[in-house]
Chains A and B, each alone.
Chain A
Amino acid sequence: MGKYQDASRKFAETFNKHDLDGLAKLYATDAVAYDPMYPEPLRGRDAIRKDTATFFKGFPDIRFEIITTIEKDDRNGADEVRMTGTHTGPLETPTGEELAPTNKRLELKGSAFVRLNERGEIVEERRYYDVGTFLRQLGLMPEQAEEPAGAKR
Chain B
Amino acid sequence: MPIAQQQTAEDTQTLNAKDFRAAMAAASARDHGSFETHLRDDVTFINPMVGTVDKAGFHKFHAGLWAGLPDINYRVERTISEGNTVVGECTITGTHGGELAGVTATNKPVTVPLTFIVDYENGKAKRWSTYLDTATLLRQIGAMK
Contact = CB atoms under 8 A, between A and B. Distances in A.
Interface of A: 36, 68, 70-72, 76-78, 80, 109-111, 113, 126, 128-133, 135, 141, 145-151, 153
Given A111-B87, A133-B134, A146-B137, 19 more contacts: A71-B80, A78-B115, A80-B87, A80-B117, A109-B129, A109-B131, A113-B78, A113-B87, A129-B131, A131-B136, A145-B144, A146-B49, A146-B135, A146-B138, A147-B102, A149-B101, A150-B64, A151-B61, A153-B51
B117 A111 contact: yes
29 contacts: A36-B133, A36-B136, A68-B85, A70-B117, A71-B82, A109-B129, A109-B131, A111-B115, A111-B131, A126-B89, A126-B113, A128-B115, A128-B131, A129-B133, A130-B133, A130-B135, A131-B133, A132-B133, A132-B134, A133-B134, A141-B135, A148-B49, A148-B61, A148-B101, A149-B100, A150-B60, A150-B67, A151-B50, A151-B60
B19 interface: no
Given A126-B89, A128-B115, A149-B99, A36 B53 contact: no
B129 A80 contact: yes
A43 to B, nearest CB: 18
Given A149-B68, A149-B99, A150-B60, A130 B82 contact: no
Contact of B64 (A126, A131, A132, A149): A149
Interface of B: 48-51, 53, 57, 60-61, 63-65, 67-68, 78, 80-82, 85, 87, 89, 99-102, 113-115, 117, 129, 131-138, 143-144
A76 B133 contact: no
Contacts of B133: 36, 128-132
Contacts of A80: 87, 117, 129, 131
Contacts of A78: 80, 87, 89, 115, 117
Contacts of B143: 145-146
Contact of B80 (A70, A130, A132): A70
Contact of B65 (A71, A110, A141, A151): A151
A130 B48 contact: yes
Contacts of B49: 146-148, 151
Contacts of B137: 146
Contacts of A71: 80, 82
Contacts of A148: 49-50, 61, 64-65, 68, 100-102
Contacts of B87: 70, 78, 80, 111, 113
